[in-house]
């Protein structure tokens, strides 16, 4: 079967924890597979080098669970109680948390924990930046707000869960930190979206995973820039393995997760992007390029590397 080739890149903090330069083989062959095995529900050892991971999420199972229904009910009630506490405070009656309010807070906390234990992928919901429950930053009424916001984020996550995120399947290569995506599962036109979803799933567990946050970038077989642009934005990730020539030294020295470079043409001029082909060829072949855009539009003409397994 034919597969697209992608590169899994860990962030600098994780590499430093495991002393990647001295323990590269152990990180690639043992630590990363262990971390992926904790995140994805099913894995199969194909041979000494290859492991297949898969995961399928049934969001209806979460939505129909007892824990989720109790979470919604408790949160709805405690939000009403919170509004009453705020109203009394604004009338000059001070802050008074009733016994019922405190009991609801404790129950809500417990059901959130139970739900996360039963469906660990929901941890990603808590990293959402959505303002699901607005609170005045100067408000003195903070009791239970954290749990109200967590419950609202979980509710938002479930209601807006995309159907195409339900299943993931990939092969990890313990020799190269490569990830292989079947061309059957994700044709060229959708494989980068498929990988973006896969990357998000892994990063949902960044707070308690042994591999932290990752980026998954294409390994290009052919890579070419063409066209004239007034501005170009190039995003590179921290170079796992051997840094790609001199241009990776700054991001490595700073232990930065990624580097974003913006090139702007002189007034009334354009940048001939073809002149950058050779400069970024090695980064493209090693999987260190996250994106190259002009005013938000992708401008890479490329062929992602394929292998047959």
pLDDT at 103: 95
Q: 230, 270 in Cβ contact below 8 A?
A: yes
pLDDT at 148: 93
Structure tokens at 292: 């190259």
DSSP of 141-179, one letter per residue?
A: --TTHHHHHHHHHHHHHHHT--GGGSEEEEEEETTTTEE
Question: What are residue 7's phi and psi, to 5 degrees?
Answer: -110, 125
Measured CA to CA, the distance from residue 171 to residue 161 in angstroms comes to: 25
Measured CA to CA, the distance from residue 176 to residue 134 in angstroms comes to: 45
Structure tokens at 48: 């000494």
83-140 pLDDT, tens digit each: 999 999 988 998 999 999 999 999 999 999 999 888 877 877 887 766 777 776 557 8
- Distant-in-sequence contacts of 256-261, Cβ < 8 A, 24+ apart: 256/12, 257/11, 257/12, 257/213, 257/215, 258/215, 258/290, 259/235, 260/233, 260/234, 260/235, 260/236, 261/233, 261/234, 261/235, 261/236
pLDDT at 251: 64
pLDDT at 285: 81
Measured CA to CA, the distance from residue 95 to residue 81 in angstroms comes to: 12
Measured CA to CA, the distance from residue 190 to residue 114 in angstroms comes to: 35
Cα angle: 41, vertex 45, 50; to 5 degrees: 110
- Distant-in-sequence contacts of 17-22, Cβ < 8 A, 24+ apart: 20/240
Distances (CA, A) of 226 to 47, 65, 176, 300: 41, 52, 30, 8
pLDDT at 139: 73
DSSP of 62-80, one letter per residue?
A: HHTSHHHHHHHHHHHHHHH
Q: 83, 145 in Cβ contact below 8 A?
A: no
pLDDT at 243: 45
pLDDT at 279: 79
Structure tokens at 113: 């924990």
Question: What are residue 225's phi and psi, to 5 degrees?
Answer: -100, 140
Find the length of the chain.
Answer: 309
Residues of the chain with pLDDT under 70: 129-130, 136-138, 162-166, 187-189, 207-208, 238-255
Task: Count helices and strands (H / E) in the chain.
Answer: 10, 15
Measured CA to CA, the distance from residue 275 to residue 292 in angstroms comes to: 14
Measured CA to CA, the distance from residue 57 to residue 256 in angstroms comes to: 33
Indicate the pTM of the whole model.
Answer: 0.67
């Amino acid at each position: 079967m034919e597969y697209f080739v992608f590169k899994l890149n860990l962030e600098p903090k994780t590499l430093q924890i495991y002393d990647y330069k001295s323990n590269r083989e152990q990180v690639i062959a043992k630590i990363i597979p262990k971390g992926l095995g904790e995140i994805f529900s099913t894995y199969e050892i194909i041979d000494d080098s290859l492991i297949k991971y898969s995961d399928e999420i049934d969001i209806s199972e979460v939505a129909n669970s007892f824990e989720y229904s109790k979470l919604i009910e408790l949160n709805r009630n405690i939000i009403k109680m919170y509004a009453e506490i705020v109203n009394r405070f604004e009338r000059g009656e001070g802050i008074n948390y009733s016994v019922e309010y405190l009991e609801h807070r404790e129950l809500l906390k417990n059901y959130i924990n139970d739900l996360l234990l039963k469906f660990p992928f929901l941890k990603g919901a808590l990293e959402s930046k959505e303002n699901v429950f607005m609170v005045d930053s100067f408000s003195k009424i903070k009791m239970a707000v954290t749990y109200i916001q967590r419950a609202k984020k979980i509710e938002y996550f479930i209601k807006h869960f995309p159907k195409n995120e339900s299943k993931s399947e990939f092969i990890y290569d313990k020799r190269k930190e490569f990830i292989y995506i079947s061309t059957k599962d994700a044709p060229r036109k959708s494989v980068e979206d498929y990988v973006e979803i896969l990357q998000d799933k892994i990063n949902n567990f960044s707070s308690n995973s042994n591999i932290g946050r990752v980026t998954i970038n294409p390994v290009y077989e052919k890579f070419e820039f063409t066209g004239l642009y007034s501005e170009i934005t190039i995003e590179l990730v921290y170079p796992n393995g051997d840094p790609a020539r001199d241009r990776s030294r700054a991001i490595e020295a700073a232990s930065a997760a990624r580097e974003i470079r913006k090139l702007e043409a002189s007034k009334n001029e354009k940048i001939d992007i073809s002149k950058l082909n050779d400069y970024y060829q090695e980064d493209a072949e090693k999987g260190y390029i996250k994106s190259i855009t002009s005013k938000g539009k992708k401008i890479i003409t490329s062929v992602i590397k394929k292998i047959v397994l």
